[in-house]
Structure 1
Amino acid sequence: MKAVLFKKNVSKLFDIALCKCKDSCTCTCNLTVNLRHFLMNQRTNRKLKIQHIKPTSSASVSATAVSASSQDCQMYDDTDSYRSSTEDCDKNDDHHWTTRPITSQYNTLNARPVAEVADRYGVSSQAAAAIASATLQMVGLVTVGVDDDLVMNRCKVQRAKATLRQELSAEKFDNIMALFFDGRKDTTMFMKAGADLIQRQSFRKEEHISLIKEPGAKYIGHLSLTNSKAPNISNGIFPFINQSLCAVGCDGTKTNTGPKGGVIRLLEVRLKKPLQWLICQLHFVELPLRALFVFIDGKTLGPHQFSGEIGSKLGDCVNLPIVKFERVTTKLPNLTNDMQIKDLSTDQKYLYEICEAISTGIFSQSLSERRCGNLCHSRWLTLANSVLRLYVGTRTPSKNLKTLVHFIMKSYAPSWFSIKIFNKCCDGSKNLFEFIKSTRFLDEKYKVVVEASIQRNGFFGHPENILLNMISDSRLHVREMAYKRITDSRRRTETARVIGVRKFTIPSIQFNATDYYDIIDWKRIEVTEPPLFKTFSDEQLLLLLEPKNRLRVGSKSA
């Protein structure tokens, strides 16, 4: 009986409005048209919503406040379409409430840009939300305690991050011509269950690898691997690619470039076709510097320590006063383009400026007080900066220190900044040749060390990469030479039954060559066609010989 009575009166139990009229109002509640329409709807299908209102004083909410109206009072249904206007609102109604026009009862700001930047720089959702709210307050859209509807919430940023990641992962890249990848080991937090089955925070080292599509430098995904061995990396990369892949770019570590079990070789075997090897040119320039430094100063002791006389002084070199030093000339390329200067990191700008200072003999006070970068065995650029800073702070530098300084000034720094300017894959063999030429001043014992490093890492000395440079050369006879060698290699491949994919091995480099296309002996090696030209017919290659049709490969390999 009580249940039946409850169902009968349930529509009246929570109706606290003063107006009890059902159809037309005959009482003295003085409700406006808007509020009366809303009240009638709440007693039927409850489809309308009313904007929230804020009190302007500490007056308590009373029953008479239900009849309060305002010029800005608005109602809307569940689809956010307005069902009433404010034309009938009473402007002279005396009450303790004011409202302001807002577009929704929720913060509808698009948080996608905040989530994108937060993901790019590794900022947490809470920190990103706080920064966004502070920015809105700075521009006057948010006032603390008065107008805070636009304050960004941590959960809003987190939802935007999840949506953005789903969109990126769902995006399809069917025609990937070149894939570039690079990684680093990071300490990553994860949840681990203990003996009591309670989940607790724990940390582990993970390899994080980013994948970039070229041309266009389009991010296509990333990998998180606990094991950074070549088979695991290749297995992670393989789902992102297909038979349209022609080239792969990465740094020159053995994991990536091993001729038998490297990442690129494993991808070639699975795709059953050769790929163009576009190995980082900046990484190549650092390796001879490392080999020469280890030969002169001894092996390293740890991730940030050195064992030799020079290496042990590099940590405090920035505190040494500038002394009168012997000038060492250098031939740095002119960075006249603003974009070229903006593209340089802080450590690269320091290297450029200190090389100019040692070459001119003018060392500014501001340059002497700047930090030259933290020493790290994976960043030999900062080692070069520290060696030069130690040189200008040493009154009687040793012969070994002078040798390192001359190598940095005459070979390392000019090649580094030349690669920053000419950073296309069609410039790789030329950059390799120029670096070899710049090392000819070294004594024989040092030259042997540097040449051994160049031989091991001279990937742009492979005939496939040299032909890629030759076909884009400005000289007609060089392009004609490349065309003939490519077509001849095609004829040999058609007549010979080649089993399997060719193995990418660096031929013997001729260090006394007079031009970049002569750094190998073409008669003693098997010339294979560049994989990037597999889709070109002979007629299309022939068109590249014309100056107006000269190939300009746009993928960066630096």
Structure 2
Amino acid sequence: MAENTRSKVFHPIFGYPGPIPENQLPTKLDLYNHYRMLRNEDSKSTRDDIAKELTEVLVRIYNLASIPTISELKIKQYINSDIIEKAKYYGKSIQNKQQPDRIQPIISELNVLFDVSSCKCLIQEGKCFCSLDKKIPRREWPFLFDQRNARKLFISSLDCMTTSKNFVKQKRKEAQYEREEREMKRLHAVQPSQEFIECDFEEFESFDSSTSNTHKYTRNHNQLRNLAIMCDRYQISDRAGAAIANAVLQDYGIITQEEDSQIIDRNKVRRSRFSVRKELANEAHETINDISAIYFDGRKDQTRVLVEREDGHLHQDTANEEHYTVLSEPGNQYVAHITPSSGKAKDIAKELTDLCRERNSNLMAVGADGARVNTGIYNGCIRLPELEFTKPLHWFICQLHGNELPLRHLFQIIDGKTSGPNSFKGVIGKELNCDFTCKPIAAYHPLCGKTQLIDCDSLKNLNKDQKYLYNICHAVQTGICSSELASMQPGPLHHARWTTLANRLLRSYISTIHPTPELSRLVNYYAPVWFRIKSNPICTDGPKNMFFAISLLRDLPESDQEVICDVIQRNSYFCHPENLLLSMLADNDEQIRQKAVKTILDIRINSSSFRPIEIRPFNLPSIRFTAETYVDMIDWETSFITEPPFTRYLSKEVLINCVRTPLEIPAYPCHTQAVERTIQLVTKSSCSVTGEDARHGLILSTLTSREKMPAFESKKDYAC
């Protein structure tokens, strides 16, 4: 090779480009050098072609090692993001070859396994909780562990012993299949005149050869879609579902001693449920795309898993798994539930970004609760997708979660801290943990509250505890408590359910003739803001809800104001200039819209560039608690103002038109209550079925039934 040719392809750090060695699982460096080789061979090759070829090579090597991989689509995405997109960065590192402190991190990053195995469990500890299709054979565990660490082992030639075992296993399966085929032919010969012949051997739970000549084997060809969906919705087992269905058919005279062709067994119910779940999952994957906003939340669930014993057999067990539920907004559409390897922000954010790429999302906004793992301004679950997609996003942090915090802090200051999961140390807290149905209603003094009336449709959407809160608030405000309300339970006391704490505080107040000043202080704040948020649930209502909460502070004692002001300041996400400007553009007041348009146009003029600006950190502004309108909650002169992500791609003409007509903004919620409801469903599914796909199908089946028939209290509610 000529000297000048060598200099073009030789890299002083990474060496010559070349094909991936096939005697070990590839590292990132192997893939990078293979990528360089392909680029040198054909400079006109597209990124997609190169990624496809690298994927094929990678899958082939993993198959040689008998290690199952993630989907080829995900592998291709990882190659694009981790190899091809960083190729220029690696190539330029030659300029820094005299600075080892800058080169060494790159070399360390590249000399690690490009791990696309389907299992990420702690195999060195002998633990694997993956579903059967993702499980790595136990005999390959030492090799994979070595490849992830020391990399001293190699993929050798054909393993004759293992191949022989697999061959015998396959022959055994073929022999079993042939026996079943012969049995089916014999049944056909015995009953040649029978109209329906049972062809699916799974329908037989047992076979008695002594009675085979007299029993009729008929096949039920009816599809049981609705039965399968209802069994999923109400968590009914296959056996119970089949028994109930057969009993109904018998009562209607469809099944008799003479006519038993319509009998349903548990296997048919099981297959119907599997088929419906798969169908719904495919349909959802095709229809829920181009997502503009994702709302997510999660928790650790007790999850059914398959665990391999030392003898190689699988058995069911339970394990704690992180499950994060993802919804598409507007519309509260369930997208998926992800299972990050840990509850750390980087692992959650990686799963979220992969999901968005898979669904071809044009993300504009992210909704979550105010947990620090979500809202960290440098490495939070919302910040990391911004950096990954290189664009700012709207932060819609749940206001219902934020509304709990003032009550929590105020209660702890007035009455003391907690002493357990459902108890407090203080006098008021101890009195709340009692049976209020035994306490009579006292001649209490009504309080002038600001809990607004809500319409009947909104009232129907409230759960039992929330309806109780609504009714007890109006009882405190009016001084009239019905006997029906007095006999109702206010809900269990638990530190994760602050609505029921408010219920018990209010119930305690109307049962006390001379309530203490501390108790009176606690009943004045939480509920009005809660119902304000429920009645105004859109993101453009968020700043106005914040202003309503601030205005209520002025009626409280100064000591309480100081506590609540600090809490509101730390959770003032809807006072951020981006969210304020978005709300102002949708306001009915033309002067407010005009101010928003002028502010955005000034931002564009003052910015060095319009679209490719540096992604701002989402710093919370200082709130002006003396503001007279929601527009004045921040100081526009001193605050760092950035344009809302939603308007960044609107032309100047469209913006100016907003002065005359309010901007139409999708109905993104200002809270994550829909996510909370779906989380409960994910938790139930985790205890019912095994595997992520099975859980996903069960959730979709249940949601489909609820959407079609929200409630079934009478015959008029049933939807065909």
TM category, shorter: 0.7 to 0.9
Q: Name the CA distance, whole Å, in 1 between partners of 2:246 and 2:586.
A: 52
Tell me which residue corresponds to 2:90: none
The question of 1:485 aligning with 2:599 is answered yes
The residue type paired with residue 556 of structure 1 is P
Q: 1:398 to 1:170 in 2, by over 3 A?
A: same
Q: 1:533 to 1:363 in 2, by over 3 A?
A: same
SS of match in other structure, 1:179: strand
Contact 1:184 1:208 in 2 (8 A): yes
The residue type paired with residue 203 of structure 1 is T
SS of match in other structure, 1:310: helix
Q: Alpha-carbon deviations, 1:494-528, whole Å to 9, x = none?
A: 35998741000111000110000100011111110
Q: 1:14 to 1:205 in 2, by over 3 A?
A: closer
The question of 1:556 aligning with 2:669 is answered yes
The question of 1:328 aligning with 2:447 is answered yes
The residue type paired with residue 175 of structure 1 is D
Tell me which residue corresponds to 1:76: none
Tell me which residue corresponds to 1:258: 376
Q: Alpha-carbon deviations, 1:223-249, whole Å to 9, x = none?
A: 134622211211111112146111111
Q: 1:492 to 1:418 in 2, by over 3 A?
A: same
Q: Name the CA distance, whole Å, in 1 between partners of 2:411 and 2:632.
A: 29
SS of match in other structure, 2:551: helix
Contact 2:294 2:328 in 1 (8 A): yes
TM, length-normalised to structure 2: 0.60
Higher helix share: 2
The residue type paired with residue 442 of structure 1 is L
State which of 345, 357, 364 in structure 2 corresponds to 1:230: 345
SS of match in other structure, 2:426: coil
Tell me which residue corresponds to 1:192: 307
Higher mean C-alpha deviation, range 181-190 or range 396-405: 181-190
Deviation of 1:461 after TM superposition, in Å, equals: 0.5
Contact 1:125 1:157 in 2 (8 A): no
Tell me which residue corresponds to 2:467: 349
State which of 240, 247, 259 in structure 1 corresponds to 2:355: 240
Higher mean C-alpha deviation, range 113-122 or range 453-462: 113-122
The residue type paired with residue 363 of structure 2 is L
Q: Name the CA distance, whole Å, in 1 between partners of 2:443 and 2:557.
A: 26
The residue type paired with residue 588 of structure 2 is S
Tell me which residue corresponds to 2:482: 364
Q: 1:147 to 1:253 in 2, by over 3 A?
A: farther
Contact 1:351 1:413 in 2 (8 A): yes
Q: 1:14 to 1:186 in 2, by over 3 A?
A: closer
Q: Name the CA distance, whole Å, in 1 between partners of 2:275 and 2:403.
A: 41
The residue type paired with residue 290 of structure 1 is R
The question of 1:339 aligning with 2:457 is answered yes
Q: Name the CA distance, whole Å, in 1 between partners of 2:187 and 2:506.
A: 83
The residue type paired with residue 429 of structure 2 is G
Identity %: 37
Tell me which residue corresponds to 1:105: 219
Q: Name the CA distance, whole Å, in 2 between partners of 1:16 and 1:557.
A: 64
The residue type paired with residue 321 of structure 2 is E
SS of match in other structure, 1:350: helix
1:504-515 matches, within 5 Å, as 504-515=618-629
The residue type paired with residue 340 of structure 1 is S
The question of 1:208 aligning with 2:319 is answered no
Higher mean C-alpha deviation, range 449-458 or range 361-370: 361-370
SS of match in other structure, 2:423: coil
State which of 645, 649, 669 in structure 2 corresponds to 1:535: 649
Contact 2:228 2:272 in 1 (8 A): yes
Deviation of 1:256 after TM superposition, in Å, equals: 1.1
Contact 2:220 2:264 in 1 (8 A): no
State which of 295, 302, 312 in structure 2 corresponds to 1:180: 295
Q: Name the CA distance, whole Å, in 1 between partners of 2:401 and 2:338.
A: 22
Tell me which residue corresponds to 1:276: 394
Which one has the largest radius of gyration? Answer: 1
Q: Name the CA distance, whole Å, in 2 between partners of 1:147 and 1:440.
A: 77
Deviation of 1:252 after TM superposition, in Å, equals: 1.4
Task: Specify every segment of 5 or more residues in structure 1 that has no aligned partner in the other structure, as ranges.
Answer: 1-9, 19-34, 40-48, 54-64, 67-96
Q: Name the CA distance, whole Å, in 2 between partners of 1:341 and 1:141.
A: 43
Higher mean C-alpha deviation, range 324-333 or range 140-149: 140-149
SS of match in other structure, 1:50: coil
1:161-180 matches, within 5 Å, as 161-164=276-279, 166-167=281-282, 170-171=285-286, 173-180=288-295
The residue type paired with residue 236 of structure 1 is E
Deviation of 1:215 after TM superposition, in Å, equals: 2.5
Contact 2:239 2:265 in 1 (8 A): no
State which of 397, 403, 407 in structure 1 corresponds to 2:521: 403
Deviation of 1:209 after TM superposition, in Å, equals: 1.7
State which of 168, 174, 195 in structure 2 corresponds to 1:50: 195
SS of match in other structure, 1:259: coil
Q: 1:126 to 1:542 in 2, by over 3 A?
A: farther
Q: Alpha-carbon deviations, 1:106-127, whole Å to 9, x = none?
A: 242242x444455566655555
Q: 1:184 to 1:496 in 2, by over 3 A?
A: closer
Deviation of 1:205 after TM superposition, in Å, equals: 2.3
Q: Name the CA distance, whole Å, in 2 between partners of 1:493 and 1:202.
A: 57
Deviation of 1:371 after TM superposition, in Å, equals: 1.3
Tell me which residue corresponds to 2:570: 456
Tell me which residue corresponds to 2:102: none
Task: Specify every segment of 5 or more residues in structure 2 that has no aligned partner in the other structure, as ranges.
Answer: 1-181, 199-212, 672-720
Q: Name the CA distance, whole Å, in 2 between partners of 1:16 and 1:280.
A: 64
Deviation of 1:191 after TM superposition, in Å, equals: 2.8
Q: Name the CA distance, whole Å, in 1 between partners of 2:342 and 2:562.
A: 36
The question of 1:470 aligning with 2:584 is answered yes
The residue type paired with residue 403 of structure 1 is R
SS of match in other structure, 1:316: coil
RMSD of aligned residue pairs (Cα, Å): 3.2
Q: Alpha-carbon deviations, 1:409-439, whole Å to 9, x = none?
A: xxx2122112112111111000100111012
The residue type paired with residue 414 of structure 2 is I
Contact 1:119 1:161 in 2 (8 A): no
Tell me which residue corresponds to 2:420: 302
Q: Name the CA distance, whole Å, in 2 between partners of 1:116 and 1:15.
A: 34
Q: Alpha-carbon deviations, 1:141-181, whole Å to 9, x = none?
A: 75576666153634234423541464157436442111111
Contact 1:128 1:157 in 2 (8 A): no
Tell me which residue corresponds to 2:497: 379
SS of match in other structure, 1:513: coil
Q: Alpha-carbon deviations, 1:89-108, whole Å to 9, x = none?
A: xxxxxxxx9x9xxxx93242
Q: 1:161 to 1:495 in 2, by over 3 A?
A: closer
SS of match in other structure, 1:227: coil
Contact 1:141 1:150 in 2 (8 A): no
Contact 2:387 2:615 in 1 (8 A): yes
Q: 1:114 to 1:217 in 2, by over 3 A?
A: farther
Contact 1:183 1:207 in 2 (8 A): yes
The residue type paired with residue 414 of structure 1 is P
The residue type paired with residue 459 of structure 2 is I
SS of match in other structure, 2:222: coil
* Aligned residue-pair number: 466
Deviation of 1:264 after TM superposition, in Å, equals: 0.2
The residue type paired with residue 600 of structure 2 is I
Greater length-normalized contact order (CA 8 Å, ≥ 6 residues apart): 2
Consecutive aligned runs of 4 or more in structure 1 exceeding 6 Å deviation: 13-18, 496-499
